[in-house]
C-alpha cells in the first residue's frame, strides 16, 4: 500500500501538466488492474492493509473513475479554474479511497472513510455551479456525520470489550441491538437508504461533473463495502433484524422510482435512479447470502460505470445549453445523432439490458431477494418496470421534440467526449465475460 501512496505523492510536481497527469492515472489504472491475481481470501499487504476480490474490484474502479473525472473536467483546464488545487483534491481523494478499501483495521477504515468526505466537499464548494452548493455541501456533511458518530462510539466499544479492531478477529456476540444499529446506520445513510437520501440529489445537482462522477461511482459504494465488511461479524443480529431494512428499502425504492418521473432536471433523475438501484444492493446484502453479496458487488460496479456515464452525457448537454432542464434540452437526435446512440446505450444499460453488468447483478440480486421471501416479487417486478420507465423518460425527453429556439450556437461533440463515453461503455458491457472472478468472492 505504501508504494501506491508514495507513487501518488511523487506525482505532485506534475500538477501543472494536466494531460501528462491524466495519462499517468490511466497507466496506473492498467498497471493496478493487471498487477495482482484475484484472491477470494484477504491477501495481506501489511499488518493494517490487505485486500480480497471485493476491495480489489472497488480499488480498480477508483483508479479508473479518477482518470475519467480528469478527462471529463476539461473546462477546469481550459479556463484555468484553480487547476493545481483541483489536481490536489483528486489526489487526496484517491489516497483516502485506497486506504478505505484496503483497511483491515476498523479504526483505520473509519478514519479514511470519513476522510473521503473532505475532497468531495471541496469539489462541491470550489467548482460547483450555483450558490446553493453551500447548502448541498452542508446536507452531505451533516447527514453523513450524524450517522457516523454512533459508528465511532461502536468502534471504541469493540476495542474496550473485544480487545481487537481487526475485521477478522472481532466477536460481538451479546453486544445488543443498539450496537448493531450503530454499526450499520453510517453505511445505510451513505448508500443511501430511501427516506434518508435527501442529501444525494442536492449534492449531485450542485456538484461539478467530477463531483457527480465520484459521488455516483465510488462514494455510494463505500456504504455497500462497509456493510459487507461489518456483516463479517454481526451476522447473528442481521438474521433477526434484516426484514425491517428489506421492507424499508423495497418500499422506499418504489416511491423513489415514481419520484424520478416527476423530475425536470436531468441530473436529478439520474440521482434518484441511483437511490433506487442502491436500495436493491442494500436488500441483497441484508439477505446475508452468497448470491446477495455477489450480486451487490456486480451491481455496484455496473452502476458505477453506468451512472457516471449518464452524468457525463448530461454534462455534455449542459455545457452546450447552459441548462439541465428537460424543457430546454430537447431534440438532440437531430443536432448530435452519434451522441444520441450513447444516450440510448446508457439508458438501456440503466434499465439492466444485456450484456451489461447491471443485468448480471440484478439476476443475482433478484434471485437472492426472492429466495429470502417469495412475496418480494411484487415489489421487484414493479421496480424493474419503473426502471424501464424513467430510463425511457430521460432518453425520449432529451432526444426527441423540437430544438429550443434560444440556443444561439451549438458545438459538435469532440473526440475527447467520445473517448469518455467509450471508456464507460466498454467495461460496463464487457466485464460480464469475467463474471467467474466475482463468483470467487464467497
Q: Identify the pLDDT of residue 8.
A: 87
Q: Identify the pLDDT of residue 412.
A: 82
Structural domain containing residue 127:
1-36+45-440
Q: Identify the pLDDT of residue 441.
A: 60
Rounded Cα distance, 105 and 109, in Å: 6
Q: Identify the pLDDT of residue 423.
A: 94
Number of independent structural domains in the chain: 1
Q: What is the pLDDT along the chain (442 residues), one digit of tens a residue?
A: 788 888 888 988 888 888 899 999 998 888 887 776 666 777 777 788 888 888 888 998 999 999 999 999 998 998 888 889 999 999 999 999 999 999 999 999 999 999 999 999 999 999 988 888 899 999 999 998 899 999 999 999 999 988 888 888 888 877 888 989 999 999 999 988 998 988 999 999 889 999 999 999 999 999 999 999 998 888 777 888 888 999 999 999 999 999 999 999 999 999 999 999 999 999 999 998 889 999 999 999 999 999 999 999 999 999 888 888 998 888 889 888 889 999 999 999 999 998 899 999 999 999 999 999 999 999 999 999 999 999 999 999 999 988 887 776 677 888 999 999 999 999 999 988 887 777 766 5
Amino acid at each position: 500500500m505504501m508504494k501506491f501512496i508514495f507513487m501518488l505523492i511523487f506525482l505532485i510536481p506534475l500538477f501543472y501538466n494536466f494531460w501528462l497527469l491524466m495519462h499517468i492515472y490511466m497507466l496506473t489504472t492498467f498497471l493496478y488492474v493487471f498487477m495482482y491475481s484475484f484472491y477470494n481470501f484477504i491477501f495481506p499487504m501489511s499488518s493494517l492493509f490487505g485486500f480480497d476480490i471485493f476491495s480489489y474490484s472497488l480499488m480498480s474502479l477508483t483508479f479508473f473513475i479518477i482518470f475519467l473525472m480528469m478527462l471529463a473536467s476539461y473546462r477546469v483546464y481550459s479556463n484555468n479554474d484553480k487547476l493545481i488545487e483541483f489536481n490536489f483534491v483528486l489526489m487526496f481523494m484517491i489516497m483516502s479511497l485506497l486506504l478505505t478499501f484496503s483497511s483491515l483495521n476498523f479504526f483505520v477504515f473509519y478514519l479514511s472513510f470519513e476522510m473521503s468526505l473532505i475532497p468531495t466537499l471541496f469539489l462541491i464548494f470550489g467548482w460547483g455551479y450555483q450558490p446553493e452548493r453551500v447548502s448541498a455541501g452542508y446536507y452531505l456533511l451533516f447527514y453523513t456525520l450524524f450517522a457516523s458518530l454512533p459508528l465511532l462510539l461502536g468502534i471504541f466499544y469493540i476495542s474496550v470489550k473485544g480487545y481487537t479492531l481487526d475485521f477478522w478477529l472481532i466477536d460481538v456476540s451479546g453486544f445488543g441491538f443498539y450496537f448493531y444499529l450503530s454499526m450499520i446506520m453510517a453505511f445505510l445513510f451513505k448508500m443511501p437508504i430511501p427516506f434518508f437520501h435527501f442529501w444525494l440529489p442536492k449534492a449531485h445537482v450542485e456538484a461539478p461533473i467530477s463531483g457527480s462522477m465520484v459521488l455516483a461511482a465510488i462514494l455510494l459504494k463505500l456504504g455497500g463495502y462497509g456493510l459487507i465488511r461489518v456483516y463479517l461479524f454481526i451476522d447473528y443480529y442481521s438474521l433477526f433484524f434484516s426484514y425491517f431494512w428489506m421492507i424499508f428499502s423495497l418500499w422506499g425504492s418504489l416511491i423513489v422510482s415514481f419520484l424520478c418521473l416527476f423530475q425536470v432536471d436531468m441530473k436529478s433523475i439520474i440521482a434518484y435512479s441511483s437511490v433506487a438501484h442502491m436500495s436493491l444492493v442494500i436488500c441483497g446484502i441484508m439477505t446475508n447470502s452468497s448470491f446477495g453479496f455477489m450480486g451487490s458487488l456486480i451491481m455496484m460496479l455496473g452502476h458505477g460505470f453506468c451512472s457516471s456515464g449518464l452524468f457525463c452525457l448530461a454534462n455534455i448537454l449542459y455545457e452546450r445549453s447552459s441548462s439541465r432542464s428537460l424543457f430546454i434540452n430537447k431534440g438532440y437526435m437531430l443536432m448530435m445523432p452519434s451522441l444520441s446512440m450513447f444516450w440510448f446505450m446508457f439508458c438501456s444499460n440503466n434499465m439492466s439490458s444485456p450484456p451489461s453488468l447491471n443485468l448480471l447483478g440484478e439476476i443475482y440480486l433478484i434471485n437472492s431477494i426472492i429466495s429470502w421471501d417469495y412475496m418480494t416479487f411484487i415489489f421487484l417486478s414493479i421496480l424493474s418496470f419503473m426502471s424501464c420507465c424513467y430510463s425511457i423518460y430521460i432518453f425520449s425527453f432529451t432526444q426527441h421534440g423540437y430544438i429550443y429556439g434560444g440556443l444561439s450556437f451549438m458545438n459538435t461533440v469532440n473526440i475527447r467526449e467520445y473517448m469518455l463515453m467509450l471508456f464507460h461503455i466498454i467495461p460496463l458491457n464487457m466485464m460480464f465475460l469475467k463474471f467467474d472472478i466475482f463468483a470467487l468472492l464467497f
